[in-house]
Amino acid sequence: MNAPSDLQATLDPSRKSWVESANDSSNDFSIQNLPFGVFSDALNATRRVGVAIGESIVDLAVLESAGLLTLPTSGAGDSVFVRDALNDFIALGRDAWRGVRIQLSKLLSRDNATLREDAELRSRALIRQADAQLHLPVQIPGYTDFYSSKEHATNVGSMFRDPKNALLPNWSEMPIGYNGRASSVVVSGTPVRRPNGQLKLPDQERPVFGACRKLDIELETGFVIGAGNALGEPVACADAEAHIFGMVLLNDWSARDIQQWEYVPLGPFNAKTFATTISPWIVTLDALEPFRVAQPAQEPQPLAYLRHDGEHAFDITLEVKLRPQQANQASTISRTNFKHMYWTMAQQVAHHTVSGCNTRVGDLMGSGTISGPTEDSFGSLLELTWNGKKPLELQEGGTRSFIEDGDELTLAGWCQGEGYRVGFGACVGEILPALK
Amino acid sequence: MNAPSDLQATLDPSRKSWVESANDSSNDFSIQNLPFGVFSDALNATRRVGVAIGESIVDLAVLESAGLLTLPTSGAGDSVFVRDALNDFIALGRDAWRGVRIQLSKLLSRDNATLREDAELRSRALIRQADAQLHLPVQIPGYTDFYSSKEHATNVGSMFRDPKNALLPNWSEMPIGYNGRASSVVVSGTPVRRPNGQLKLPDQERPVFGACRKLDIELETGFVIGAGNALGEPVACADAEAHIFGMVLLNDWSARDIQQWEYVPLGPFNAKTFATTISPWIVTLDALEPFRVAQPAQEPQPLAYLRHDGEHAFDITLEVKLRPQQANQASTISRTNFKHMYWTMAQQVAHHTVSGCNTRVGDLMGSGTISGPTEDSFGSLLELTWNGKKPLELQEGGTRSFIEDGDELTLAGWCQGEGYRVGFGACVGEILPALK
């Protein structure tokens, strides 16, 4: 077991690293962060587990074999760090995650000489991010997407249903969610091809087949299940956060025209299944602890199975940038915050499992589009341009109603501490033209 | 490569087996069938791949190690037959499936003495089904459920929307589908716990939490992807059947009251995610070939990406039985046929991937509820009792509007050949009371 004081020390804002780039208060990967990912590099094509620190990655397998990193259950056989996904490490449980966090925080501290002064080991254990390739961090057995921003649900309801009754009655009673497609979740940097599909044009009786004309983003976060639950055994809301390993940024690419034609009555399908992009680093809930804030007041009071005491939102600044193919400069098209979300991650887990549905290590749960209260804080172009009626002026590259071929979309997110940042790194995708 | 004549010979109706129980024309597992599954038994708890024949199972790993079964790519290391799922075998490709089918058909033929006369090997290679435990046959990376019965969609639309415009306009243009929850797909025989959830009662303003009061089945078939497609590379309708390994029976348990309250606008979630039951044996498309028939006429003509020449439906008799806990006798509550389905499996694959969505070996695709044209051929209690308004009279155990605790529901399905049957075995689930 890890001492609570050791875990608390990993959050000390005054702790600095001998990896100097980590001490820059605008670098996502401070020593307080220590997010987990999977990487390879030109010298070693084997995919393995790493932790981001400043502009570098720590190779956990190297530290483990050097005896500097021990796991509570060091099984026989291969290291859980020499894997193409984090699942086996995550499955060791929260004590293991915390133990690694505590040990890494010490090893990377400015006042710790062990690794700092061992040039040979350091050269093997630290890889520059610029030299590494980042891969999908987890093998995802199931992907669920929620719809938990009141502002987003209200905006969409206003546009497509009834502005006077924009929010459906069930929305305020439960974190509405639906099953997504896990196979097409890709890591940041993977190009995304514009989908073809059925489009129902207003002036034609029958749909036509063609490339999506209303391609959109959805600015979301996702969380990764760290401890599953057995079929038939719901997770109580008060226990739910212990089932969460950490968070990522998530872009739920959406083909609005395909969606509008297909989604009644069984929900979005082809409009979403062509790609979902996540950021490569999983930021643990432990690292996010200092940024815990109160969720919005919930009225009506949720049913008992959705109640929890205390604060369950997190203060995470989020932004979206769009860079046209020929432009040097990206335009920030949205800036918002995760703390606006009405339903919490804990409530999402409790609702997901209340029927007895099981979850598994590595399951990904999307927040739903995160829209803030102001027009410049909406999390989709659908809302930002009000379904194309109010095109956005970019700083360079013209205007946008929806995404054009060659556009590069980047989500960013971070918590700003005193002199340090706990950030997610970028979640990027460039749009390729549709297949002919 | 396998000779077409050898493959054709496996379908010869006159071929009989020395496993005499396979020659009974009412036994699902004739020598023309040879479906694949995963089993273990009391003597050997290791899960391994088997093929059903009459009342027995052939242990493929035993035959392989005896040199009687060879695979085109016999890699080093463990046998693909000593696995807890069929995925690795399926991933070898259609030539491998067909090669095994051809070899088994010969080995089990009445006129082949090799295994028949080797008592020692036969005692190791043949296990009585009654002595075996059957497991989920595939590890399922993704589960999609379609909605492809015109009669079912019309019935549901009549009940819940508008009897005059029961079928939504998109229904006739595409095989509507949605993502299901793969984690809770269970094998036949697994008890199913009645889910709790939010129920919106007509006389109350707010929902209450409680046990589902309208628990239902959906009689479906499913098919298993045998060859995936890469992200961004759609499968053409004409090629789609080559991506299908085989079919199962599928019971898409549904909590109608939870569903009605939650499903707008993103589709069913908790109403379906608590359990989906499939039959343990995967019947290959090769075995179903003699039962290929024409699909219903499609009007309007589908868009080009959904067109295929020839016959793509299959004549599979389906039935549902319900046995109350205290009853000795089960009542047949529905009898229908898979051939009524409007959209074909090939069209479902083409539509699923047209956006570029990738599929993977082991993916499960449900047909949607299979309802026939007459009132006794509907595939759900919702339709059979018209949302509880016309309770069913059971032969023993009273009446049913929806499923009661202790009820055992059994789906069965088979193709009837001349003197032989290609059947699926049972797809059974008994309902346990909800958690308090």
Provide the whole-model pTM. 0.98
pLDDT in tens, A286-340: 999 999 999 999 999 999 999 999 999 999 999 999 999 999 999 999 999 999 9
Q: What pLDDT score does B75 carry?
A: 58
A152 is catalytic: yes
Alpha helices in A311-377 (DSSP H): 345-353
Find the CB nearest B181 among A179, A184, A232: A179
Contacts of B136 in chain A (CB under 8 A): none
Find the CB nearest A170 among B184, B232, B262: B262
> What's the CA angle centered on B249, arms B256 and B378, to 5 degrees?
50
**Whether pLDDT at A433 is above 70:** yes
Long-range contact set of residues B65-69: C-beta below 8 Å, sequence gap at least 24 = B66/B121, B66/B125, B68/B103, B68/B107, B68/B114, B68/B115, B69/B100, B69/B103, B69/B104, B69/B107
Q: What pLDDT score does A194 carry?
A: 98
Q: What is the mean pLDDT of residues A192-202?
A: 97
Residue of chain A whose alpha carbon sits nearest to that of B172: A206
Walk along chain B (436 residues) and give the pLDDT tens digit of each residue. 689 999 999 999 999 999 999 999 999 999 999 999 999 999 999 999 999 999 999 999 999 999 999 997 755 567 999 999 999 999 999 999 999 999 999 999 999 999 999 999 999 999 999 999 999 999 999 999 999 999 999 999 999 889 999 999 999 999 999 999 999 999 999 999 999 999 999 999 999 999 999 999 999 999 999 999 999 999 999 999 999 999 999 999 999 999 999 999 999 999 999 999 999 999 999 999 999 999 999 999 999 999 999 999 999 999 999 999 999 999 999 999 999 999 999 999 999 999 999 999 999 999 999 999 999 999 999 999 999 999 999 999 899 999 999 999 999 999 999 999 999 999 999 999 999 9
CA–CA dist A255, A169 (Å, integer): 26
Asked if B339 and B320 touch (Cβ cutoff 8 Å), the reply is no
Find out whether the peptide bond into A300 is cis, omega within 30 degrees of 0.
Answer: yes
Q: What pLDDT score does B360 carry?
A: 98
Confidence at A262, pLDDT banded by 50, 70, 90? very high
- Active-site positions of B read 152
- Candidates B251, B48, B36; CA nearest to B133 is B48
Q: What pLDDT score does A263 carry?
A: 95
Q: What is the mean pLDDT of residues A28-37?
A: 98
Q: How far is A280 from chain B (nearest CA, A)?
A: 19
Instruction: Kindly report the backbone phi and psi dihedral angles of residue B215, in degrees, each rounded to the nearest multiple of 5, phi listed first.
Output: -80, 135
Asked if A364 and A181 touch (Cβ cutoff 8 Å), the reply is no
Find the CB nearest A360 among B183, B263, B300: B183
Count of all residues that appear for chain B in the document: 436
% chain A with pLDDT above 90: 96
**Whether pLDDT at A78 is above 80:** no
Q: What is the mean pLDDT of residues A254-274?
A: 97
Count of all residues that appear for chain A in the document: 436
Contacts of A258 in chain B (CB under 8 A): 355
Q: How far is A136 from chain B (nearest CA, A)?
A: 15
Q: What is the mean pLDDT of residues A378-406?
A: 97
pLDDT in tens, A144-193: 999 999 999 999 999 988 999 999 999 999 999 999 999 999 999 999 99
Q: What pLDDT score does A250 carry?
A: 98
A252-261, A355-364, B76-85, B158-167, range with the lowest pLDDT: B76-85
- Please state the separation of Cα B119 from the chain's center in Å: 35
Instruction: Kindly report the backbone phi and psi dihedral angles of residue B244, in degrees, each rounded to the nearest multiple of 5, phi listed first.
Output: -105, 125
**Whether pLDDT at A76 is above 60:** no
Instruction: Kindly report the backbone phi and psi dihedral angles of residue A259, in degrees, each rounded to the nearest multiple of 5, phi listed first.
Output: -60, -45
What region, left, alpha or beta, does residue B347 occupy, with left being phi > 0 and alpha being psi -120 to 50 degrees? alpha
Residues paired with residue A215 on neighbouring β-strands, in sequence order: A255
Pairwise CB contact (< 8 Å): A178 & B261: no
> DSSP 3-state assignment of B45?
coil
Interface test with A, best of B269, B353, B358, B359 (most A CBs within 10 A): B269
Contacts of B266 in chain A (CB under 8 A): 147, 176-178, 263, 267-268
Contacts of A261 in chain B (CB under 8 A): 170
Q: How far is A146 from chain B (nearest CA, A)?
A: 9
pLDDT in tens, A272-283: 999 999 999 999
CA–CA dist A175, A147 (Å, integer): 7
Contacts of A179 in chain B (CB under 8 A): 178-181, 269, 273
Q: How far is A367 from chain B (nearest CA, A)?
A: 14
Cβ contacts of A345 within 8 Å, gap of 6 or more: A223, A240, A241, A244, A312, A365, A367
CA–CA dist B22, B29 (Å, integer): 6
